[in-house]
Amino acid sequence: MPVKALFAAPARLWEVYASALPQAFAEAGLDVDLSRDHAPDEVDYIIFAPRGPLSDFTPYRRARAVLGLWAGVEGIVGNPTLHLPLARMVDEGLTQGMVEYVTGHTLRHHLGMDAHIAGPRGIWQPVVPPLARDRPVTVLGLGALGGACARALAGLGFAVTGWSMTAKDIPGVTCLAGMEALAAALAGAQIVVLLVPLTAQTENLMDATRLALPARGAALINPGRGALIEDAALLAALDSGQIGHATLDVFRTEPLPPDHPFWAHPRITVTPHIAAETRPLSSARVIAANIARGEAGLPLLHLVDRTKGY
């Protein structure tokens, strides 16, 4: 008898996952009946993404787990009807995309590329950047994405400090942990990358006090979550020169409204939430692996700790 999997994600995703998931199930030797229309009392696994058709999990009494397609879970983890195990997406394609975005924009700010690309023509300005080893970079968040980015930046020679809520050990990275160590992690950083999950503790993490801690003129790169930054405090820090530039990929409201001041600010680069997209083929294999584990009675991969929110 086939396993019944409900695809509970926005309709626009069905076209690609309707082929990617069956392919992954076949590769894993699974017999899975995938549909968007299974009756709740028939469903074994729910494949979920935010802003889809499902918000009330109460009828799904038979289901064994909710398997998320996104890395972030703040849109579901607090749902009072959800009592099933919840697994978030940790996918090598998503991770690689984030590493490429973060290293690209870190190198952009490190090398001062904007001055050469958009600066005045005909003016010879031989400003030589320091070597990467002399450029302090701080990565806030050392989970699957932040840890991969910290390792990549350290591999390029940057002096990387990583910070997380719980202790981590990454070769070549100075790792600090706990809210009491956050100020030390930010102090003197010339480039700051935000990759912490959004929780009650991390909302507005970068407020006026913490934006004052990096080196004057530091670059801020946020491909994590928009609400990690207090918007008004960031604008004030940019206007004062305390923050030299902010590259922002995520926002409190998306798409970013056309009249939002971030669009017009000369020291802000807006990218349209493209830092790390879930890749259907590789993420489908993660879903298949978790269903295989569930059917074998093994612990699911990437389970969310509800008490932590990630």
Residue 48: φ, ψ to 5°: -125, 145
Amino acid at 124: W
**In sequence order, what are the residues at sequence separation of 6 or more whose Cβ sits closer than 8 angstroms to the Cβ of residue 127?**
112, 115
Which residues are the active-site residues?
Answer: 225, 273
Residue of 34, 84, 90, 104 whose CA lies nearest to 269 = 104
Whether the bond into 130 is cis, omega within 30 of 0: no
∠ CA 37-39-45, nearest 5°, is 85
**In sequence order, what are the residues at sequence separation of 6 or more whose Cβ sits closer than 8 angstroms to the Cβ of residue 75?**
50, 51
Please give the structure tokens belonging to residue 287. Answer: 């879903």
**In sequence order, what are the residues at sequence separation of 6 or more whose Cβ sits closer than 8 angstroms to the Cβ of residue 121?**
none
CA distance 284 to 61: 24
Q: What 3-state class would DSSP assign to 289?
A: helix
Residue of 85, 67, 39 whose CA lies nearest to 287 = 67
Strand bridging mode 136-140 / 191-194: parallel
Please give the structure tokens belonging to residue 180. Answer: 């009491």
Q: What 3-state class would DSSP assign to 40?
A: helix
Amino acid at 114: D
In sequence order, the β-bridge partners of residue 65 are: 45
